[in-house]
Amino acid sequence: MSRQAPRAFIFDMDGTIVDNMAFHTKSWVAFFERRGHAIDADDFFRATAGRQGHEIMRTYLGAGLTTEDTVLLDAEKEELYRELYAPHLETVAGFDQFIETAQEQDVRLAVATAAPPANIVFTLDGLDLRRHFDAVVGAADVARGKPNPDVFLLAAERCGVAPEHCIVFEDAPLGVEAARRAGMRAVVLTTTLPAEAFAEFDNVIRIARDFTELDIDALFETTNNIQQAQ
């Protein structure tokens, strides 16, 4: 009997492990209002979810911002976010049981996020989750945010799993596109956007409200069937 190739689940963090994107958007809106910019929350999320802070800063405040400028501004915005979200910090329904079952089935686990180090500490250590993951990749590890595939490819590499054997969990179109470019299938959680927002993606194998609706064997079976048909 042939040995099964290593498999991995790669989780976006914000909006996927924790249902927090509304708080991120509120903090961005407040941040830009301080600087005289009126931001439409829905349009902003759709355009920026998954992008790194320095990319967003330069889009809205000017390409001429120095690295030092963006570091200081990003720290200010993320402090706003953590103040808003701290009282609500918890995992999406079913997540803890889902990753426990995945580990029992020898599925490797990774986080691939556009979040800066302080937010990764805030979420993963605040919820005592870091110990469950074989790899954690964030904004400090890659130069480009989503929809570039860098963060997912690095997570797969650190897990020792080929991209075609990874399933990404995402809540944003830019993240699903990054997974597509990485050659990975995606599961979408509708914590932030409705299912219709992902209709154009051919790499989405499942759309669910939360992790209680997901079956690990079924996800990998779907992926295997697609690969065999190609």
Residues carrying an active site annotation: 12
* Helical residues (DSSP H) of the chain, grouped into ranges: 21-33, 41-48, 53-61, 67-85, 95-104, 117-120, 150-159, 173-181, 216-229
Q: Cis link prior to 147 (omega < 30° from 0)?
A: yes
At 43, list the tokens: 């349009």
Phi, psi (rounded to 5 degrees) for 170: -140, 165
Answer yes or no: are the C-beta atoms of 208 and 190 closer than 8 Å: yes
Say which DSSP state 18 is in.
B
Alpha-carbon distance 17 to 133, whole Å?
12
Q: Can you read off the two tokens belonging to residue 9?
A: 């689940």
- Which residue do the tokens 């596109």 mark? 177
φ, ψ of residue 5 in degrees (nearest 5): -65, 150
Q: Which residues contact 36 (CB under 8 A, 6 or more apart)?
A: none
